[in-house]
Amino acid sequence: MKHSLSLIPQVNGNIADERTRFALSSDSLIQIEPGFEFAAEDLLRFLERHYNLRLTISSHTALPIFEHTQAGIINFCHDSGMVHPEGYQITIANGICDITAQTATGALYAVQTIKQLFHSAVPELPAVKVYDEPLYRWRGFMLDSARHFCPVGEIERILDMMLYLKMNKFHWHLTDDQGWRMEINDYPLLSQVGGLSAPSPGFYTTEELHYIVSYAEKRGITVIPEVDLPGHCLSLLAAYPELGCSGGPYVIPSEPGIFYELLCLGNDDALSFSKRLIDYICDIFPGPWIHIGGDEIPTRRWKECPKCQERMKEEHLSNSRELHTWFANRLQEYAAAKGKNLITWNDGIDEKLSRDIICQFWFPYHNAYEKAVAESKRGRKFIMSDYFSTYLDLSQAVVPLKATYAYTGHLHAGKEAAQEHAILGIEAPLWSEHISDRRSRDKQLFPRILAVAESCWTDAEAKNLHDFIKRVDHLKGFFQTEFSIDGNMYRRDPFVLIRFLKKAIRIISMLRQAVSPNREK
């Protein structure tokens, strides 16, 4: 039989519910095969915290299973034949809970499902058989630490939340006009001026960056750093003004906006800095991707800059957009030699941009969908982050739960659709222009981040908004406790709509100049 269990994200595949219970006690055991230690320890911590159970973890060969079925045993097994590397199977029957997975990440996801099944005051599970695997391989969340600095402890909480929701890509926006958050020993003024002197002061040391990467890795999460180039970089230029077109002085702004100051692409020192920055990122972040921003680039400074104009002549570039593309392609070539691929926002894509650069689709400017579909057919990969469906910093009056839950990540332009294999998945950004602490962060995240997780994981035909809301209500207390949510999950901010309208007007006016393909002849 197939029954709907109260799980978020809802599982794919069949759920056979035998309507009996599997009970744990202090005599129960957890048995594991090598590689599943962290998953078992994660479950152990949960049982101790919620039920004061301190179970023993042992290897499979330590004790015969049949001697312990009366006390209950949780058995972690490796299955190399499982189709999806992040998939898992849970079989609970006759006093045994078998967790089968191909990888440690699959076993971790099985544990997250089991945690949600423990929703009573006693340590019991329903006797079920579940097979589950994700819809998308890219299930992302973006945190902006540049506008308002986010402490390491809070990032730990966010990564724990992502694991609970089976999200696997942490896009970390580390630099912007309002702050530079990475310590780089070769450029000490970046953290001293761009970090400590920023309106929201702070930066992450090299040790802290390594720690966050390791913390995420254990939870099956890849960290994708974003360093905004060649725009949104006033915090960089305030520290090293010689890298800008005008030479400064530059001031780190306290307010959000789109500013005209850019990295000088005619300056060889600016190019050398960009490559050394990639070197540093490669040393810290082992994942295969680096995000370079590339959005909202007003080109006035490049048009006025003799060095940039000279560069355009040398490289036979006809306009400033081609100069931007030239820069991105140079960085992609350099990053590729180190085993990395770049990601850019969809403002920055055109036919001459390297096909290896992944596009993160966020804003539907003029002909954006048509352009993206055409690029997908040329082989470009996409991460889908539609502004009006996934931007969690927007008010829930602007981006309601219903819109977020309905988002599929599909890319269409009229009757034309993007190549299916071109869509890597979905990512939800949380920009922090107006988010400075946990309370304001949680107000924007919940419950929509739950909807994002389900859209990333669950097949569209298995989704149902009414059922989802019932599951959210059922699990609300669980999530409130597990995520240490500060405030009401459903609270709304009546003033965010006004801020949204102001931001939309500003973005639209700037994009007309920055991304229109006809802005230069």
Annotated catalytic residues are 296
- Residues 358, 360, 364, 368, Cα dihedral to 10°: 0
Tell me the C-alpha distance between 493 and 443, whole Å. Answer: 8
Element (H, E) at 48: helix 37-51
Query: 3-class SS at 286?
Result: coil
- Look up residue 47 and give its two tokens: 């049982």
- Residues 156, 158, 160, 165, Cα dihedral to 10°: -170
Q: Which of 314, 311, 465, 449 is nearest to 390 (CA)?
A: 449
Kindly write down the DSSP assignment for every residue of 449-505, as one continuous string.
Answer: HHHHHHHHHS-GGG--HHHHHHHHHHHHHHHHHHTT--S-TT---TTHHHHHHHHHH
E-strand spans in 297-376?
341-345, 358-361
Tell me the C-alpha distance between 271 and 316, whole Å. Answer: 18
Q: Which of 165, 91, 157 is nearest to 134 (CA)?
A: 165
Query: 3-class SS at 195?
Result: helix
Tell me the C-alpha distance between 108 and 123, whole Å. Answer: 19
